[in-house]
Homo-oligomer: A and B are copies of this chain.
Amino acid sequence: MQFTIQQIADALGAEADGNTELTILRVAEPGDAGQTDLAMAMSPKYAEALAAGSARAAVLWPGADWRAMGLEAAIFVPRPRMAMAGITAMLDRGQGVAEGIHPSAVIDPTAEIGSGVSIGPLTVVGARARIGDGSVIGPHCVIGMDASLGENAVLREMVSIGARAVIGDRFIAQPGARIGGDGFSFVTPEVSGVENVRKTMGDQGDAKAQSWLRIHSLGAVEIGDDVEVGANCTIDNGTIRNTRIGNGTKLDNLVHVGHNTRVGNDCLLCGQTGVSGSVEIGNNVVLGGQTGVVDNIFIGDRVISGGGTKILSNVPAGRVIMGYPGVKMETHTEIYKAQRRLPRLARDVEALKKAVSKQGSSD
A184 partner residues in chain B, CB cutoff 8 A? 230, 250, 252-253, 270-271
Number of interface residues of A (CB under 8 A): 146
Query: In the complex the two chains form, what is the Cα distance from A248 to B349 in whole Å?
Result: 51
* Measured CA separation A272–B193 after assembly (Å): 21
A63 within 8 A of B: no
Stretch at the interface among A2-10, A21-29, A64-72: A21-29
Alpha-carbon distance A137/B41, docked complex (angstroms):
41
Distance A213 CA – B94 CA, assembled complex (angstroms): 18
Give every chain B residue within 8 A of A272 (Cβ-Cβ): 254, 256, 272, 274, 292
Q: Which B residues lie within 8 Å of A266 (CB)?
A: 209-212
> B231 and A302: CB pair below 8 A?
no
**Chain B residues positioned under 8 Å from A217 (CB to CB):** 88, 92
Q: Contact check, A338 vs B348: say whether CB atoms are below 8 A apart.
A: no
Tell me if A241 and B29 are in contact (CB < 8 A): yes
B contact residues around A223 at 8 Å (CB): none
CB < 8 Å: which of B81, B234, B290, B346 contacts A232? B234
* A204, B302: Cβ atoms closer than 8 Å: yes
The complex places the Cα of A294 from the Cα of B96 at a distance, in Å, of 33
Which residues of A from 311 to 353 have beta carbons under 8 Å from B? Answer: 312, 318, 320, 323-325, 327-331, 333-336, 338-343, 345-346, 348-349, 352-353
Q: Which of A143-163 contact B (CB under 8 A)?
A: 144-146, 156-158, 160, 162-163
Chain A stretch 125-140: residues in CB contact (< 8 A) with chain B: 126-127, 138-140
A126 / chain B contacts, CB cutoff of 8 Å: 95-96
Asked if B176 and A209 sit within 8 Å, CB to CB, the answer is no
Contact B349 A178 (CB under 8 A): no
Q: Is the CB of A84 within 8 A of B239?
A: yes
Q: A99-142: contact bitstring with B at CB < 8 Å (1 yes, 0 no)?
A: 00010101000000000000011101011000000000011101
What are 16 contact pairs spanning A and B, CB under 8 A?
A85-B213, A88-B218, A91-B216, A95-B145, A96-B145, A124-B140, A158-B158, A181-B231, A184-B270, A194-B304, A197-B329, A203-B320, A231-B236, A271-B276, A307-B310, A359-B360
